[in-house]
Amino acid sequence: MLSMIGLIGGLILLIILTMRGMNLLVVAPLCALFVAVLSGLPLFPQLVEEGGANLVGNYMAGFSGFVASWFLMFLLGAIFGKVMEDSGAADSVSKWIVEKLGMKQAVLAIVIACAVLTYGGVSLFVVAFSVYPMALSLFKQADLPRRFIPAALAFGSVTFTMTSAGSPEIQNWIPIEYLGTSPYAGWEVSLIVAIFMAVFGYWWLRRMIGKAVSKGERFEAREDDPKVAEKELPHPITGLIPLVVVLIISFIFHDSLQQSALIVALLGGVISAYFLNRKYFTDFWEALSAGTLGALIAIGNTAAVVGFGGVAKAVPAFEMAVSAMTSIPGSPLIGGAIAVSVIAGMTGSASGGQAIALPILAPHYMDMGVNAEALHRTVAISSGALDSLPHNGYVVTTIRAICGESHSAAYGAVGALTVIVPLIGLALAVILFSLGVGI
């Protein structure tokens, strides 16, 4: 009982401290210490027999293991995003989409611009920074409440693209290591779910904005609003080509290299972006440095959470929780989806939720004969639901740092589109797989 209190209390403490803006590299070990003490877990390796569970050993094993497995993907992904940003290629693509659709389809233009960049492998944060100035300009011209800009950015980035089949985003690649699948696992169901989430989510976003406008809400300008950059941008085609290169290379090599194909694909994207748009760079080497620093921060934060998970899964309460989740009646996919989604929600990280849950759940479900492709797609979609609770890093950054809004004003719409819509999509995926679609 005390162990369960420690586990739940540690997770709640992690959420609270994260929402207060504390550094995850400090918070995660402290919360792991809380879990270990209440569960009676020894603190140091010297206090147990070789290989025995302990706070420091389990935390660092989880932390270092995640870094060893995913550092190059995080590094190249961050560098690719920064190269696309610094060269103006990301701005060029998003601006072209916005211009083609026009002011009357302002919201749709923003969503599509984010979706194209995200599915092409550009970092979620870079997408938000890149598209926000144009979103602001469009919302101003259309006189729409600016508090819905974070929802439009997030909806286009972290719902029907991030966890879909073929996506180069890390959330679609982590299951490959544990299930021996490909990034295109369960593509038939993924396509149906992605279309549903895109159509339903867009309808809901337009409905929420329409209700706000009917109540008298309008755009409110601010003195510090950024302007759309007037610098010369590359042609949209040369901006799109690196995105296509990433997708093509990952498709060609995913069978032979599995998750390592993403390394080759992102490297190809960086190289093609440089040679196609090199005259437009503000400072290429500074972009590499900024990308490297961003990768270290991103993987450090995720690894810190995975380290916490390494301690959590060593205490008795965790086994009880996993047993309860995997014993849920009905499709085994439901238990896997709930486990990954809950852990992703607790940690505020889709990749962290997968990295913690899959090493334990994957062997269990594979032994049961669960279809690996169905499990891959279900896990990917489920990781992108509760991860977007208010303490999620992307959510906090997009609402506060990029858009300058408050959680009270903007999170309602963000939560509806990035939590509820993916949860409905997850239910649809489980139903379709249970009916044998794509299996």
Give per-residue pLDDT as tens, 196-235.
Answer: 999 999 999 999 999 999 999 998 887 766 555 566 778 8
Mean pLDDT of the 3-9 span? 84
Work out how many domains the chain is built from and give that number: 1
Q: Which of 112, 84, 107, 87 is nearest to 97 (CA)?
A: 112
> Could you tell me the residue range of the domain that residue 287 belongs to?
2-43+55-434
pLDDT at 349: 74
Q: Is residue 439 in a domain?
A: no
Q: Are 332 and 368 in contact (CB under 8 A)?
A: yes
Domain membership flag for residue 233: yes
**Inter-residue contact 388 to 175 (CB < 8 Å):** no
Higher pLDDT, 429 or 142: 429
**Residue 283 covered by a domain:** yes
Q: What is the DSSP letter of 307?
A: H
Is position 252 within any domain?
Answer: yes
Quick check: is 205 in a domain? yes
Residue 408 falls inside a structural domain: yes
Task: Give the pLDDT band of residue 62 (cuts 50, 70, 90).
Answer: confident
What's the chain's length in residues? Answer: 439
Convert 184-200 to b/e letters by CB count within 10 Å (16 or more is b). bbbbbbbebbbebbbeb
Is 381 contained in some domain?
yes
pTM for the complete prediction? 0.73
Q: How many CA atoms lie within 13 A of 206 on its CB side?
A: 14
Rg (CA), the chain: 21
Lowest mean pLDDT among 176-185, 228-237, 290-299: 228-237
Angle, in degrees to the nearest 10, between helices 149-158 and 407-415: 40
The C-alpha angle 62, 64, 66, rounded to 5 degrees, equals 70
Which residues, in sequence order, are CB contacts of 28 under 8 Å at separation 6+? 14, 304, 305, 307, 308
Mean pLDDT of all residues in 357-372:
84
Using pLDDT thresholds of 50, 70 and 90, give the confidence band for residue 155.
Answer: very high
Secondary structure letter of residue 316 according to DSSP: H
